[in-house]
Chains A and B, each alone.
Chain A
């Protein structure tokens, strides 16, 4: 059992690594100057997510701020799963964390995810895509309030397998996410 899940995990990691590398390569070869030069749009509404640190694209001083519309504009993914903190199965909608990392040109270091209550967890960039998490902004189609653990909640497809039901992944599944600091 354990052995199989470890194997599975390593395969996933490898696949992810290859995918990410190739995406980066495509990104760098096809349009790095354009992407790098094109500035990120500025937020119009209240900022609900700030990414700070050494970024490839910004809309502020060493930071990228997002309002809810900016997040909703981006390609989204849906994860239907149960969680340890809720009852029943829920459909979460959000931006894949990996997409965000790529788009902002983050290519190494550690992500420090911080919640509204200052709860924080560190995730190495190299491992951030494992389990294909999303930064969810909607729950069963509706935006999430702080009372619903919103507005942003990092969600993993927990129901997909045992590999994701462990302390490490659960710790990364941070709710009321507000800031991501990129540290070298």
Chain B
């Protein structure tokens, strides 16, 4: 699943990032390009346009043609003066002055600057300038002298006219070339602008295309992810359903078996029979434990550490476990002995499942590595004086010693590592998963204690579990005797359980405690029964046909019948913490796990009916 997700998401994400960076770079580049074009070429263009605009207003061509017009007027004034004589002299002089006033502009004015680097133009201009100087000498002289030299003025003017004409033509030609150059420059600028803008536009389009592609990619990988997620969820649902079925199908017969054994153990039997029943009980318990470990996902993943302390008779527990494993010891002709004398006086608060698991692992380990000799199991509760528990704090010590092959000094700590296995190459006998001692270490830590080993290779090993415990409030012998009739009030109880033998076990427990018990086989029957009968407490199996325990309780509570306010205990084969919480939220006061333990059931009933009455 992880692989499938990886194939889809990681490269897509990386590609997406790369594309995004590329798009950003492209867009920035395009914008920068357009910006440069607008600022550089644009201002150049504006400048050129401005020049075109202002240049038109006062151009050399215009200047020259006006000079020519004024020259011709002067020329005609000379002829007029010849006819009219002195009367028109002032007009002649003024017309000359006007022509003369043009010289400065042609020679030095900004307007004509482009022509002044043409040698031919300058040659004609020199001739024009000389004509003006020569004529001015006559014009500025006495009136009589001026009239006398009108012919000279005429010759001078006619002599220079071709130069003036030529200057005009050069100006025209120059202007045309100039405007061509300007036009070409402008065209060049515009086409450059166009090209660069085109490139910018192309880049932007490219960026857009990449963005669209990125979006499509993201959409697709999103779809793949969603598909993978759906698949994962479906598999998870399948797994949960499988576990639920397994839980129900395996646990129910097992619970029936264990319940029946419990009943049997309370009957009068020969010592041999009792021993056989005891072994069956312990083995059944181990099987139950195994099933739980496989089916309970919380414990499956190394989460053995959830500690649930309750009052435990350590001596009885140890003796039972040792008894259950005597068969294996006898097979190997080992002498397994148990000494619980120094633990016999107290009940302590601890987790019996974890404790049993530790002991089984340690004894299993000893059995595995011991070929001859004996195994000693001792349990001791230290720090508590016999009788009244003056100090609630005590220490529980379990020691399992064997006469096996032992462990080399340098490997003594490694044996507690997870997945460590002490098997040698030649040892082909089946063994644990390699998790055994690692589990023991983790349990010891969870209980707040520690595990240690003393060993001499060839002579044997001694594993020691030490953990702090609190003494239970009731000294041993108070509440735990199985057959003892309690002083509890006889209660009116309803039990709804679909599996026959479970129903039988629960019924037997409750009747032996003196209660009045009504049995039904499903939730619907429970609902009907609760309408008219006021029960003190309801024991409802969660998984039942027709109507399950949860639905039944909901109906009973809402019906407002005689038992609508009765306390309710759920019994379930598959009780992870989440489910327990869920069931409590549904209105159950307590949740018990199968197989039902007589003591726990008794406490639960006593607690909840007492609470109901006082409440």
Contact = CB atoms under 8 A, between A and B. Distances in A.
A84 B109 CA distance: 6
Contact of B100 (A82, A147, A162, A168): A147
A81 to B, nearest CB: 12
B98 A84 contact: no
A82 B46 contact: no
A163 to B, nearest CB: 11
B485 interface: no
Contacts of B73: 117
A176 B98 contact: yes
Contact of A85 (B50, B58, B70, B97): B58
Interface in A133-184: 145-149, 162, 165-168, 170-171, 175-176
SS class, residues of chain A in contact with chain B: loop
B104 A176 contact: no
Interface string B196-236: 00000000000000000000000000000000000000000
Nearest to A1: B46
Contacts of B97: 145-147
A116 interface: yes
Contacts of A176: 98, 101
Contacts of B104: 85-87, 148-149
A122 to B, nearest CB: 16
Contacts of A166: 53-54, 57
Nearest to B108: A87
Given A149-B101, A162-B50, A86 B94 contact: no
Contacts of A87: 104, 108-110
B418 to A, nearest CB: 81
A98 B86 CA distance: 40
Nearest to A175: B101
A167 B98 contact: no
Contacts of A85: 58, 63, 104-105, 109-111
Nearest to B107: A87
B56 interface: yes
A86 B98 contact: no
A170 B98 CA distance: 19
Interface residues of B, number: 23
Given A149-B101, A176-B98, A176-B101, A165 B108 contact: no
A167 B101 contact: no
B57 A167 contact: yes
Nearest to A87: B108
A83 B50 CA distance: 17
Contacts of A171: 57
Interface in B46-91: 46, 50, 53-54, 56-58, 63, 66, 70, 73
Contacts of A170: 57-58
Contacts of A119: 66
A176 B97 CA distance: 10
A146 B46 contact: no
Nearest to B47: A1
A167 B109 contact: no
B70 A167 contact: no
B94 A146 contact: yes
A147 B111 CA distance: 18
Given A170-B58, A175-B101, A117 B110 contact: no
Contacts of B100: 146-147
A117 B98 contact: yes
Interface in A1-25: 1-2
Given A86-B104, A87-B109, A146-B97, A117 B70 contact: yes
A170 to B, nearest CB: 5
A119 B69 CA distance: 11
A111 to B, nearest CB: 20
B110 A146 contact: no
A80 B66 CA distance: 27
Nearest to B103: A147
Nearest to B54: A165
A148 B109 contact: no
A116 B543 CA distance: 124
A140 to B, nearest CB: 13
B49 to A, nearest CB: 9
A116 B57 contact: no
Interface in B522-577: none
Contacts of B111: 84-85
Pairs of residues from A and B, 5 with the lowest C-beta to C-beta distance, nearest first:
A167-B57, A146-B97, A87-B108, A85-B105, A85-B109
18 contacts: A1-B50, A82-B110, A83-B109, A84-B58, A84-B109, A84-B110, A84-B111, A85-B58, A85-B63, A85-B111, A86-B108, A86-B110, A87-B108, A117-B73, A145-B97, A146-B100, A167-B54, A171-B57
Given A85-B63, A146-B101, A147-B100, 17 more contacts: A2-B46, A85-B109, A86-B105, A86-B109, A86-B110, A87-B109, A87-B110, A145-B97, A146-B94, A146-B100, A162-B50, A166-B53, A166-B57, A167-B53, A167-B54, A167-B56, A171-B57
